[in-house]
A and B are shown apart, each in its own frame.
Chain A
């Protein structure tokens, strides 16, 4: 079975068909996806800025991480649920979209990023000891910031994709600039 037939089969299920055809439900899911960026994306942003020692300096980074963790988990679940509803109901169009592919790859990389810094940063109660954050905290925060911003950008660019050579052209143009 090819990805094309699989994608078509998924989006053709009764469930995803009704999601796609609903006049109010689909934009509501999209608006919820976006509201999650506002609320939980904001928390990710502030956590990363804290790790980079740019914001919330009076609160230890480990306290910021610990106290936002539960909220970010809730947000992540809502976010992914909405994302599955949005992409699943248009999977024919999505799976060939390079920005969608890039976005999914970056989400996987973000997962790996979380694992890499799991013990040294995200579950490190003594992260702030000595009054100065270690360099690995700033590295974790900085890479996470870049990853999440790129994920948001890819998400937006999915909607504008109509040219199969879009990414190749973009890279060529960027190379031209350099």
Chain B
């Protein structure tokens, strides 16, 4: 017999410090994942990092980006599990998840191809700008959801 999920038994709700600790992990690991992606974006935008090409920066940071993404999503799932229904029914949270999925897909398809192949300056700049906007929107919508306690 499958028992209905009871949030009140979730350690995220019973252990006093665990929720906040997960938020810290979430913040630290999005610094790692988004921070490294932004370093590639900046070189795509022509702002440059020590004269390195986007391809060089991508190659040097991609494994850290992956570690950051896996950690940030794992911590995010733990946070989600503390009150799944509230998240599920929140338009702000849904928006965040759609933009997040778009950002991840964009990052591993177009963004990656443009960074590695060295496209025209316009395409490179547009790719960098779209990436910054996508990831910025993810952070903003996450905060706007969290800032509205009990609401949507």
Task: Answer yes or no: B108 CB below 8 A from chain A CBs.
Answer: no
Chain A residues, Cβ within 8 Å of B147: 27, 30
Question: Count of chain B residues with Cβ under 8 Å from any Cβ of A?
Answer: 33
Chain A interface secondary structure, helix, strand, loop or mixed?
helix
Nearest opposing residue in chain A for B20, CB measure: A160
Q: Flag if B30 contacts A38 (CB, 8 Å).
A: yes
Task: Answer yes or no: B28 CB below 8 A from chain A CBs.
Answer: yes
Q: Which of B24, B36, B38, B49 contacts A153 (CB 8 A)?
A: B24
Interface size class of A (residues with CB under 8 A): 20 to 34
Query: Which segment of B5-13, B77-85, B117-125, B137-145 sits at the interface?
Result: B137-145
Task: Answer yes or no: B114 CB below 8 A from chain A CBs.
Answer: no
- Bitwise interface map of B from 17 to 34 toward A, beta carbon under 8 Å scored 1, else 0: 000100110011011111
A-B contact pairs, 13 of them (CB 8 A): A34-B139, A37-B31, A38-B139, A42-B38, A42-B39, A43-B39, A46-B35, A56-B60, A59-B56, A59-B60, A67-B49, A71-B42, A157-B20
7 further A-B contacts with Cβ under 8 Å, apart from A38-B38, A67-B50, A156-B20, are: A34-B139, A37-B31, A39-B35, A43-B39, A56-B61, A63-B50, A152-B28
**What residues of chain A have their CB less than 8 Å away from a CB belonging to chain B?**
27-28, 30-31, 34-35, 37-43, 45-46, 49, 55-59, 63-64, 66-68, 71, 149, 152-153, 156-157, 159-160
